[in-house]
Chain A
Amino acid sequence: MSLLHLAILLPLLVSLFIPLLYKKIRTVHTGWFVLLVPLTLVAYFSQFLSQTMAGKTVVATMKWIPSLDINFIAYVDGLGLLFALLITGIGSLVVLYSIYYLDAKKEALHNFYVYLLLFMTAMLGIVLSDNMIVMYLFWELTSISSFLLIGYWYERERSRYGAQKSMLITVFGGLSMLGGISLLSLLSGSFSIRESLATVGTYSNDPLFTVSLVLFLLAAFTKSAQFPFHIWLPDAMEAPTPVSAYLHSATMVKAGLYLVARMSPIFAETPLWFYLVSSVGMFTLFWGSLNAVKQVDLKAILAYSTISQLGLIMSLLGLGAAALQVEALPDSLYTAATVAAVFHLINHATFKGSLFMMAGIVDHETGTRDIRKLGGLSQLMPVTFTIATIGTLSMAGVPPFNGFLSKEMFLTGVLEVSESGLFHLDTFGLLFPFVAVIGSIFTFVYSILIVYRTFLGPRQIDKLPKKPHEAPIGMLIPPLFLVSLVVLIGLFPNLLSNTLIRPAAEAILPKVVASGGSIPVEIKLWHGFNLELFLTVLIISVGTILFLTLPKWRSLYHRMPKQISLNHQYDTLLRRGERTSSAIHDTVMTGYMRSYLVYIFGFIVVLVLSSLYFLDAFRFDVNPLSTVHTYEVVLVLVLVGSALSITFARSRLTSIILLGVVGYTVALFFVLFRAPDLALTQLVIETVSVALFLLVFYHMPEISRKEERIKFKLGNAAISALVGLSVTLVALASLSQRSFASIAQYYIDNVADLAAGGNMVNVILVDFRGFDTLFEISVLAIAGLGIYAMINFRKTGGIDK
């Protein structure tokens, strides 16, 4: 276990002591202790920067289950480090924010920080694991800790609903990923991502490779809230705002993007990868921005905007792969799109984190997040207003903030793909910029909507539950820090290009590095006059017009029928699933013994008859059979006749006596078959059994003594006939297919010499196979004791009382 492993597991280890700290030290907010953890980790991870900048990686192995090739291999490269810094950096800010957001007296802080630290370990584990099974382990840990955090206020019904929904959807994705991992490791022979990558060419033509690809993408799409799995994210907004800011904007939802980036070197040369990743991302961008405009809750707007922005990054990761598919495209598109994806990933974490914190402040200080009640807060909350303005303008892609730059780079990528004549259909390729521009226009509209409806416009203080005022300084520091990053990156875009972006892009594109190429990361604030700039102007002007006319066309949203909304579909699916399974259960499990016996006998018949048929076992060999004697035929007739009469007997007494007849006939058979011991036993036991039957019959209550014949049921008759038929057929088939002689000769030869006995059956019972007899005696003893207990221990006056 190296220091690196310790760093990944540090939050988990600290979380063990949180409840103790919370209970013992009540005067200090527990968050201050927690804050030390991400701060330490930021400092620790920063020291790797110099190594990743030089193109080096760090590997540390901790043995876990070496026999199964499952070891905790911590692996730090540019991509992993970028995420690790995001997780710990934004983690520090969120913890600081939560100290002021959560009331130490009212909230269960120990739960909150334990879940949060658990989540932090899980995220660090995902991004720094090379072994896919270990990565999966941490992946599911994020699902669980996110579930716990969303359901933090568990007494609220909506929290529980949101937590369950996110759990179901992300765990569905997680299990798909496990399937993908298993398939990929079957093909590559290793659980290690690096080792799989090294041999990818040898197995990439296998059909299972494509299945594995789809399963991995399912995991990425569910985690990163891509269409149609995005529906859990808006409901996850029931979590406390620090959680929304941390998990549902900056870190967990980017785990899917991380997975796509990490797996790109393996899968990206498959055309399906490009189609799925870019089109799903693009549609999510469009759909998320379209839906964000109709929301009235600040956090819901931000949730849909997160979905939309994640779609943007996802589509960029896919667009890069286009260069691998189409000869005409320059390879620089591959690198440019990847750099844009990484750049926007960082930008989004900065502005979306600050916006969520802003929404939390507004909620905290006014008591509501409903934009219909808010308005005109700019003079009351000037600092928050500044934060919101910078964050939303960056999100909308307005210069000079960082969102503008990444949006320009996004448009470049989209335009290049559309010019490639992809799919030999120019029309289809043209869809990309079209959808991208529409998505961006709606992004602009909802960004302005957030600022305008919250801070500008008419002030309606009387509608607010609380009297609004500026937030405490501790709550403002984290978002201020983030928006200053927004401005800083916007003005000096190359600030991070060498330290963070290039190493991350190199990790996504190891081929470029391997072939001796380099990835140019030159982000310019001013591109000159080009098509992208024109599109930005178009987006801003059309967006402004749409925003000004918003009240006129907003009602269009309500035209969409509720039935086709995905949430409705999800709820229906769950409800129908429950109803169907309970309906099946109610039909199958009737509670009547008879139904179950019918199932059992039916299955026996089907299995026996079909296997006889398919194994071609209907062969009857008459050769080794013994001769037929008259005695035996007569006895068979008596046996069969009495057995059949039992079923038709009206009275139960007749049935009992007929059963006796059958038993005595069987004893006679034993005589004929030269089995004297059997005949003796059978006679005695049949007598005792019949006596017992009669005893029970005698004690029957009056009503039950009413005699009636068994009601004839065709189904019962058919099933019993088939069971009888299978027994006969199996007997006949096995009679004619005997392969070995009996071992009986051994007993016959040795019974006198070895066991000093004359009666072979008895010697077998007590000498050769004496164990059977021992346990048969036990069976009788248990039956006797059981009968004694049943009769003597009763509810009334028995041991029970």
Chain B
Amino acid sequence: MEIIMAIAAGILTMCAVYLILSKSVLRIIIGTGLLSHAAHLLVMTMGGLKTGAAPVIKDGITQYTDPLPQALVLTAIVISFGVTAFFLVLAYRAYQELGTDNLEEMKGTDTHD
């Protein structure tokens, strides 16, 4: 299963990078969202996908899944959400001020220096 997940994370990363290399700001943010999904899945996968019970103490169960990667991913999800939200509003403000969504048009000109 880990091999399949590793390949899936690879494909997700590929799509994310492809989107990040595009011109539209919105697509770039979609790309970063995709990239964080890939990263979260990868962390889970690397922690090992062996089946055990969910990491909540229950009498009579000895085999649990690893709780540490879950805690790490939870932190990562919240942080990436914060950053994505900030980026989105930044993109929204950029539309309002510059009137464009095209990154190539946001290039500073000589007079902008």
Q: Which residue of A lies closest to B18 (CB)?
A: A720
Name the one of B1, B30, B77, B99 contacting A682, with C-beta atoms under 8 angstroms.
B77
Q: Which residue of B lies closest to A723 (CB)?
A: B17
What distance in Å separates the Cβ of A687 from its nearest Cβ neighbour in chain B?
Answer: 11
Are B13 and A724 interface neighbours, CB within 8 A?
Answer: yes
Name the one of B4, B6, B74 contacting A678, with C-beta atoms under 8 angstroms.
B74
The segment from A442-450, A452-460, A561-569, A784-792 that touches chain B is: A784-792
Are A700 and B55 interface neighbours, CB within 8 A?
Answer: no
Are B81 and A728 interface neighbours, CB within 8 A?
Answer: no
Are B30 and A655 interface neighbours, CB within 8 A?
Answer: yes
Residue-wise, chain A 615-644 has the 8 Å CB interface mask toward B (1 for contact) of 000001010111111001100100110011
Question: A62 near B: Cβ within 8 Å?
Answer: no
Q: How far is the CA of A723 from the CA of B70 in the complex (A)?
A: 25
In the assembled complex, which residues on chain A have CB atoms less than 8 Å from the CB atom of B30?
A: 646, 655-656, 659, 693
Are A685 and B78 interface neighbours, CB within 8 A?
Answer: yes
Are B77 and A681 interface neighbours, CB within 8 A?
Answer: yes
Question: Which residues in window 179-195 of A have CB below 8 A to B?
Answer: none
The answer to whether residues A787 and B85 also contact, given A678-B74, A720-B18, A779-B78 and a CB cut-off of 8 A, is yes
Q: How far is the CA of A791 from the CA of B86 in the complex (A)?
A: 11
Q: How far is the CA of A593 from the CA of B20 in the complex (A)?
A: 10
Are B64 and A748 interface neighbours, CB within 8 A?
Answer: yes
Are B55 and A772 interface neighbours, CB within 8 A?
Answer: no
Are A704 and B10 interface neighbours, CB within 8 A?
Answer: no
Question: A514 near B: Cβ within 8 Å?
Answer: no
Interface of A is mostly: helix
Question: A647 near B: Cβ within 8 Å?
Answer: yes
Are B74 and A677 interface neighbours, CB within 8 A?
Answer: yes
The answer to whether residues A761 and B67 also contact, given A783-B83, A791-B89 and a CB cut-off of 8 A, is yes
In the assembled complex, which residues on chain A have CB atoms less than 8 Å from the CB atom of B45?
A: 731
In the assembled complex, which residues on chain B have CB atoms less than 8 Å from the CB atom of A685?
A: 77-78, 81
Question: Which residues in window 318-372 of A have CB below 8 A to B?
Answer: none
The answer to whether residues A735 and B46 also contact, given A717-B18, A720-B17, A791-B93 and a CB cut-off of 8 A, is yes
Question: Which residues in window 39-70 of B have CB below 8 A to A?
Answer: 40-42, 44-58, 64-68, 70
Most B CB contacts (10 A, CB to CB) among A598, A620, A633, A720 go to A720
Question: A161 near B: Cβ within 8 Å?
Answer: no
Are B54 and A743 interface neighbours, CB within 8 A?
Answer: no
Q: Which residue of A lies closest to B76 (CB)?
A: A776
Question: Which residues in window 263-283 of A have CB below 8 A to B?
Answer: none
Q: How far is the CA of A524 from the CA of B81 in the complex (A)?
A: 94
In the assembled complex, which residues on chain B have CB atoms less than 8 Å from the CB atom of A644?
A: 11, 15
The answer to whether residues A735 and B2 also contact, given A594-B21, A760-B57, A790-B89 and a CB cut-off of 8 A, is yes
Are A659 and B33 interface neighbours, CB within 8 A?
Answer: yes
Question: A469 near B: Cβ within 8 Å?
Answer: no
Question: A701 near B: Cβ within 8 Å?
Answer: yes
Are B70 and A728 interface neighbours, CB within 8 A?
Answer: no
Name the one of B6, B49, B75, B96 contacting A731, with C-beta atoms under 8 angstroms.
B6
Are A592 and B107 interface neighbours, CB within 8 A?
Answer: yes
Name the one of B7, B19, B67, B99 contacting A701, with C-beta atoms under 8 angstroms.
B99
The answer to whether residues A724 and B11 also contact, given A591-B107, A731-B42 and a CB cut-off of 8 A, is yes
Q: Name A residues whose Cβ lies closer than 8 Å to a Cβ of B.
A: 591-594, 597-598, 601, 620, 622, 624-629, 632-633, 636, 639-640, 643-644, 646-647, 652, 655-656, 659, 662-663, 666, 669-670, 673-678, 681-682, 685, 688-689, 692-693, 695-697, 699-701, 703-704, 710, 713, 716-717, 719-721, 723-725, 727-728, 731-732, 734-735, 742-744, 747-748, 751-752, 757-761, 764-765, 769, 772-773, 776, 779-780, 782-784, 786-787, 790-791
